[in-house]
Structure 1
Amino acid sequence: MKKVALFLPDGVGIRNYLFSRLISNLIEQKAQVVLIASLSDKAIEEAEKVHGLKFEVVQIPEYREGILEKFYRELENISRLRVFQRKLKNPTIIPDHEWGHLTKYRGIVWFFYFFIRFISNFTANYSIIKSINNRYLSRVAKSGYLAGFETLLNEVKPDVILCTHQRAITASPLFESAKKAGIETATAIYSWDNLPKARMAFRAGKYLVWSQYMKDEVLFYYPDINPDDVVITGTPQFEFYRQDELLMSREQFCTEYGFDTNRPIVCYSGGDRLTSPYDQDYLEDLAVAVKTLPEEERPQILFRRCPVDWSPRFDHVIQNHADVIKVVDPLWAFEKDEAEKWTLTYPLFSDVKLLANVARHCDLVYNVGSTMAHDYSMFDKPACYINYNPENSNGTYSVEKIYKYQHFRSMPSSEAVIWVNSKQEIAGLVANAVRNPQQVATQRKAWLQKVILHPVTEASGNIAGVLLNSKS
C-alpha cells in the first residue's frame, strides 16, 4: 500500500484537491492518504464531511525564512522576470512585481528590496539564475528548522508528497527533507497565470500542469527542468462542473435565489480591491445600462463578490439598483488566530455547488479579465471583459495594461470573449450576448481546450496515477 502525503499550504487547496475526486481515486487504488497541513481543524472537518472519512493529519513544522534565503529567492524571482520580459518583449511582466510594491516599504526593508532589484540588473541570465537557485536551496537545506521536517517525514514515512501550490515557501524545507530521505515529490502549478510571474519557490520531482500549453510554459520559463518531469494531468477544479449531483434545475436555482426564470441572468463576478479597484463603478455602469433595455427582456444581475473582498464599496451601488441587482455571496469560512488576525480563508463545499450552479444558470459572466471566463465556458456561456477605464480613475488605472499580461496571450483570437470598450456599448453587447450566445465569443471553447486538458473529468485520476506510479 502506497502512502501519499498531500501538503495543503492554503485554503484553495481544499477546494481543488480535498473536495475533488482525487481522494476517492487514491483510496479506490488502496492508497493511504495523510494530510500535511497548515489548516485549521474546521477546514479539515469540512473536507472529511465531503468524503465521509477521517483523515490522518500532521501539522507542518514551524519555518521562518532566513534573510539569506529570502535574498536569494527574491533575487531569483526578479532576475527571471527580467529574462522573461526581454524574451517575450512584454513590459507588463515586470512593473507590477518590481517598483510598484516598493512604495509600501520603509527603512531597511525598502533598502533590502531596492538592493535586490538593483543587483538583478546584472543577474538576468539563466546560468546565473541557476546558481542563485542552487544557493537558495543549499541555504534551505542547512536551515535550523530542517530537523522538524526530517522528524515529521520519519514519523509519517510517505512514499510520495504532493504540494498543491508551487509558490508555497514552506514546501522548500519539506521538499529538501524529502530529497534527503529519498521520498518522491510533486507539485501542482496552481493557476494559468502563475508561471509568467516566476512564482515557483522550490523544486520538485514532478510538476503537474493543466495542459500542453502550460507544459510548454514551464519548459520555456524554467529550461533547467527536465521535460519528462512535467506531466500533463489537467486540474481538478473544473471537474465539479461535470458532477450532475451538484447541479440544480433552473427553476430550483431561481426560486432559491429570487430570480425570474423567464429573464436572462448576467453574473457580475467581482475582483479583489488590489487588482480591480473600480469594480463598484463597473457594476454601476452595468446596472444603469441594463435598465435601458425593455423590461420584459431586461437581464437580471447576479453579483458575486470576490471571496476575499467583503469591503462596503459595493453597498451604495447595490442599494441604488436593487431592482436589477441581487447579491449571491460566496460561501467561504474566515478564521482568526489568537491575535485576531485573519490566518485562513477557505471555501465551504456548499460554495463549490453554488459556483457550479451560478455558472450553469447565468447566461453571461461580466468582469475585468477573470479566470471565470473558463468556468463559464464549461457550460458554453460567453464572457464579457470590461475594456475601458472608469471616468473617475484620473489616469491612475489602466485596464489596457491588464490585457497585456502574458497569460492573455493564450487566447486563440480576440473572439474568445466579448470586449466592452465603452459604457455606451454595454446595453447592446449584453442584450445580443444573452439573445444570441452562439454568435458571440465564438473562440471561447477553443481557448478553454487550449488552457485546460480535456476531458476535464479525468484530472483527479491522472494526478492519482502520477502519485501512485512514482518510483518509491
Structure 2
Amino acid sequence: MNKKILFVIPDGVGIRNYLYSDLFHHLQKQGFQIHLLHNLEIQILNYVKNERGIEFSEEPLRKVTESRFQQFLRETSTYARLKHNSRLKQNSTILTNWFKVKNNPLKRIFQKATELASATLSNYDGIKYLEETNRLKWRRSPAYEEFRSDIRRIQPDLIFITHQRVATLEPLCLAAADMGVKTVTAIFSWDNLPKARLPIRTDFYAVWSEYMKSELLEYYPEIPENSIAIVGTPQFDFHFQSNLLESREEFAARYGLDASKKWILFSGDDELTSPHDPEYLKDVASALDSNPQVSILFRQVPVCTVNRYQSVLDHYSNITHIPPKWGKGTSWMSFYPLFEDVKLLMNLCHHCEFSVNIGSTIGLDFAYFGKPTVFLAYDTVQDKNWSTEVVYKFQHFRSFEGLDAVVFAKEKSSLSTLLNEVLEKPDQFSTQKHLWRDKIATNKENAPSFSQIAAFLESMFIEKEAVQE
C-alpha cells in the first residue's frame, strides 16, 4: 500500500520544526512518500534538501483570496471568541490580542463594525453559528473546487498542516473532509489557543502536552477529545542532540569571546511585544558593567533588524552581538532559519549561564539545559500603552503559577544585585523550571517529538488499513 502524506507549510516557521527535524527521515524509512504544499521559495527548498539530505516532491500552495464578507465573519467571530475567552478565564489581557487599526480610516470603520456585530452574539452557540456560516461560504468558493482538484491530482492519504493560524486553508480542509482524506493540524505555539488563533477545523489536532489539550477542550468544547493527540513539539528536539554542540573554546573563537568569562544571553523581542527592549538591554549592560568577568551575548528576534539597539551596542563594551542566522526571500513570509541557527541557539543555551528577556519562549529552551531565565518585570519607561504588569498577566504565563519556574526582576534598582546572585548560585533560582517545561511540552519517556508525531501518523494508516480489510 502506498502511503503519501501531504505536508502543508504556509510559511518559513515550519522549516525549523519539521523540515529540519528528523521527522521526514523517519517517515521515509517507514515507506512514506512526502509531498509539500508551501509558500517557500525554491532556493529555500534546495537549501533544506542539501542541508538535511531529505527528498520530497513539492509545489506552491494556492493563493486564496478571502472575500470581504468572509473577513467580516471571521473577524467578528474572532473578537467574540476573545471576549468569551476573557470572561472564561477572568483575564482581561486576552483582549489585548485584538489589535486596533489606527492609521487607516476605512479599515478602522470595518473593524468597528466587526466589534459591534460581535456584541450581538449573546452566547457561544452564536460564535459557532458564525464560523459555520463562514465555512459554508468557503464550501461555495472557487478555492474549494481548486483544492479538490489538487487533492485528486496529488492523491494524499493524509494531510498534515504545520500550524493552525492560516484562515485561507479552511477550503482545503473542507475539500479533504468531503473527499474522505483525513487532516491534522499542529498547534504552533504555547500561547496561541487563548488568542482565538484556530480559524481552521481538521480531523485531528497535534498538541504539545496534556496542559495544551485541556486548553483546546476548554476554548473549543465542540472539538472531540479523541481527536487530540499529545505529541510534544519538534522545536525542542534539537536540545537532545549533543552532536550539535561545540566546545566552549570553539564557540568563543567563532564569535570573538573570552572563554574564561561567564556569558549570559539577552534575547530580544519584536517591537510590538517589547517596544522598549533597547532600554532593557541598556539596563542589563549597566547592571553588569562593573563585573569584568561577565559578557552579555545579545541576540535580536530573527525577523527584526538590530537598528533600534545599535546605540546601546555602540556604548557598552560588555555586549557582544551574535545575530540569528536566518535567510530572507522576497517577502516577509519568506524569512527562514538556516540550520546553522539551530546549532547557534543550542550552543547559546549550553554555554550561557542564564537568559534575560521580556517573557520569551527561550525560557523553555534554557530549561531543557537546566539553566534559569530572568524575566524583566519592571517598567523602564513610563508608557500608557504598554507595561510589564500587563505582559505577565497574559494567559499563557499562568502556566507557571505556583511554580518556581523563572526569576522575576521586579525592580531596576536591585537588578545588578539579582543578576550577580543568579550568576553565583544559579541552582538556587527557578528550581522548578523542569516542572514548568514538562507541563508545557511533554516528552513521553524522553522520546523526541518527531518520533511521537511519526507514531501518531503511522497509527492512522494502520487504522485505515484495518477498516479497508
Structure 1 residues 7-22: aligned runs within 5 Å: 7-22=8-23
1:368 paired with 2:358, answer yes
Counterpart residue type for residue 30 of structure 1: G
Post-superposition CA distance 1:123-179 (Å, at most 9, x none): 152211111111111111111222221111111100001101111123211111111
Q: Is the 8 A contact 2:160 2:184 kept in 1?
A: yes
Q: Is the 8 A contact 2:207 2:229 kept in 1?
A: yes
Name the TM-score, length of structure 1 as normaliser. Answer: 0.95
Name the SS of the counterpart of 1:170 in structure 2. Answer: helix
Post-superposition CA distance 1:40-66 (Å, at most 9, x none): 111211221233133200211221011
Structure 1 residues 394-409: aligned runs within 5 Å: 394-409=383-398
Q: 1:223 aligns with which of 221, 225, 231?
A: 221
Mapped partners of 1:46, 1:77: distance in 2: 37
Name the SS of the counterpart of 1:300 in structure 2. Answer: strand
Q: Is the 8 A contact 1:83 1:124 kept in 2?
A: no
Q: Is the 8 A contact 1:196 1:221 kept in 2?
A: yes
Name the SS of the counterpart of 1:191 in structure 2. Answer: coil
Post-superposition CA distance 1:249-271 (Å, at most 9, x none): 12211221122222211100000
Name the SS of the counterpart of 2:80 in structure 1. Answer: helix
Counterpart residue type for residue 97 of structure 2: H
Q: Is the 8 A contact 1:22 1:464 kept in 2?
A: yes
- Counterpart of 1:324 in structure 2 is 318
Mapped partners of 2:300, 2:112: distance in 1: 35
- Counterpart of 2:104 in structure 1 is 105
Structure 1 residues 173-192: aligned runs within 5 Å: 173-192=171-190
Structure 1 residues 108-147: aligned runs within 5 Å: 109-147=107-145
Q: 1:385 aligns with which of 371, 375, 393?
A: 375
Name the SS of the counterpart of 1:103 in structure 2. Answer: coil
Mapped partners of 1:369, 1:240: distance in 2: 22
Structure 1 residues 110-259: aligned runs within 5 Å: 110-259=108-257
Mapped partners of 1:53, 1:164: distance in 2: 18
In the TM superposition, residue 344 of structure 1 has moved relative to its aligned partner by 1.1
Counterpart residue type for residue 384 of structure 1: V
Give 5+ residue unaligned stretches, structure 2. Answer: 465-469
Structure 1 residues 275-354: aligned runs within 5 Å: 275-293=273-291, 295=292, 298-321=293-316, 323-336=317-330, 341-354=331-344
Name the SS of the counterpart of 2:327 in structure 1. Answer: strand
Mapped partners of 1:54, 1:164: distance in 2: 18
Post-superposition CA distance 1:336-371 (Å, at most 9, x none): 1xxxx5441110111111111111111110000111
Q: Is the 8 A contact 1:242 1:457 kept in 2?
A: no
Report runs of 4+ in structure 1 exceeding 6 Å deviation: none
- Counterpart of 1:30 in structure 2 is 31
In the TM superposition, residue 274 of structure 1 has moved relative to its aligned partner by 1.2
Structure 1 residues 53-64: aligned runs within 5 Å: 53-64=54-65
Q: Which stretch of structure 1 is more off in the superposition, 9-18 or 419-428?
A: 419-428
Q: Which stretch of structure 1 is more off in the superposition, 153-162 or 307-316?
A: 307-316
Name the SS of the counterpart of 2:340 in structure 1. Answer: helix
In the TM superposition, residue 97 of structure 1 has moved relative to its aligned partner by 2.9
1:411 paired with 2:364, answer no
Q: Is the 8 A contact 1:46 1:349 kept in 2?
A: no
Q: Which stretch of structure 1 is more off in the superposition, 9-18 or 427-436?
A: 427-436
Name the SS of the counterpart of 2:334 in structure 1. Answer: strand
Q: Is the 8 A contact 1:79 1:124 kept in 2?
A: no
| Cα 1:124–1:351 shift into 2, 3 Å | farther
Name the TM-score, length of structure 2 as normaliser. Answer: 0.95
Mapped partners of 2:269, 2:252: distance in 1: 24
Mapped partners of 1:151, 1:117: distance in 2: 37
Name the SS of the counterpart of 2:118 in structure 1. Answer: helix
Name the SS of the counterpart of 1:111 in structure 2. Answer: helix
1:49 paired with 2:50, answer yes
Q: Is the 8 A contact 2:245 2:343 kept in 1?
A: yes
Q: Is the 8 A contact 2:9 2:37 kept in 1?
A: yes
Mapped partners of 2:290, 2:404: distance in 1: 26
Q: Which stretch of structure 1 is more off in the superposition, 66-75 or 237-246?
A: 66-75
- Counterpart of 2:439 in structure 1 is 450
Post-superposition CA distance 1:226-262 (Å, at most 9, x none): 0000110000010001112211112211221122222
Give 5+ residue unaligned stretches, structure 1. Answer: none
In the TM superposition, residue 119 of structure 1 has moved relative to its aligned partner by 1.5
Mapped partners of 1:149, 1:143: distance in 2: 10
Q: Is the 8 A contact 2:298 2:320 kept in 1?
A: yes
| Cα 1:342–1:88 shift into 2, 3 Å | closer
Q: Is the 8 A contact 2:33 2:56 kept in 1?
A: no
Counterpart residue type for residue 104 of structure 2: Y
- Counterpart of 1:424 in structure 2 is 413
Q: Is the 8 A contact 1:376 1:383 kept in 2?
A: yes
Once superposed, what is the RMSD of the aligned Cα atoms?
1.4
Mapped partners of 1:227, 1:124: distance in 2: 26
| Cα 1:41–1:257 shift into 2, 3 Å | same
Name the SS of the counterpart of 1:145 in structure 2. Answer: helix
Q: Which stretch of structure 1 is more off in the superposition, 40-49 or 443-452?
A: 40-49
| Cα 1:111–1:292 shift into 2, 3 Å | same
